[in-house]
């Protein structure tokens, strides 16, 4: 099943989804609220944990532009395949998709954003709101998983 989603005046993106994967057949209302609250900047590096079919990471990755990157992680291999397919189909070029039930073995880089299933957590704990959640400072543990 495919569905389309648009944020504001941006382009409409098309997503392939399958049963058993988060966001099956629709752009989840919680995911939409999360993506609308993000203030992604050019060059941001995003980790989309529990990526489902990839909607959040793809919207974030497109906002971060060619200098940014996204890592999609899900324990469901079908979700990983869908996020990879949808990223390519929607023009996201700098990404990596992997199946894992633990955040281990990912490429080592600095993180700017974590995108857990339904919550954005800035990588700097002192940030208190979603609108100011960008961070260029990460813990050693976060650095080692990217």
pLDDT reported for residue 133: 39
Region 108-117 average pLDDT: 54
Task: Tell me the whole-structure pTM to 2 decimals.
Answer: 0.74
pLDDT reported for residue 114: 57
Rounded Cα–Cα distance for residues 24 and 45 (Å): 26
pLDDT reported for residue 126: 38
pLDDT reported for residue 22: 84
Rounded Cα–Cα distance for residues 55 and 15 (Å): 7
pLDDT reported for residue 112: 55
Dihedral sign (CA 103, 105, 108, 109)? negative
pLDDT reported for residue 47: 87
**CA geometry: angle 73, 50, 33, nearest 5 deg:** 125
pLDDT reported for residue 105: 58
pLDDT score of 32 more than 60? yes
pLDDT score of 142 more than 70? no
Domains annotated on the chain, with CATH? 2-145 (3.40.50.150)
pLDDT score of 132 more than 70? no
DSSP characters for the chain?
-EEEE--TTSPPEEEE--TTSTTTTS--HHHHHHHHH----TT-EEEEET-TTSHHHHHHHHHH-TT-EEEEEES-HHHHHHHHHHHHHTT--SEEEEE-SSS-S------SEEE-TT--EESSTT--SGGG---S---HHHHHH-
pLDDT tens, position by position, 51-106: 999 999 999 999 999 999 999 999 899 999 999 999 999 999 999 998 877 656 55
């Amino acid at each position: 099943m495919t569905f389309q989603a648009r944020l504001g005046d941006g382009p409409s993106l098309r997503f392939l989804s399958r049963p058993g994967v988060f966001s099956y057949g629709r752009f989840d209302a919680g995911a939409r609220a999360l993506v609308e609250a993000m203030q992604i900047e050019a060059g941001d590096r995003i980790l989309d944990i529990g990526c489902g079919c990839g909607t959040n990471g793809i919207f974030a990755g497109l906002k971060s532009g060619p200098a940014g990157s996204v890592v999609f992680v899900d324990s469901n291999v079908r979700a990983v395949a869908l996020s990879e397919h949808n990223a390519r189909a929607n023009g996201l070029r700098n990404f990596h998709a992997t199946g894992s039930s633990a955040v281990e073995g990912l490429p080592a880089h600095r993180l700017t954003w974590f995108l857990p299933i339904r919550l954005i957590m800035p990588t700097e704990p002192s940030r208190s709101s979603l609108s100011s959640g960008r961070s260029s400072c990460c813990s050693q543990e976060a650095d080692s998983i990217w």
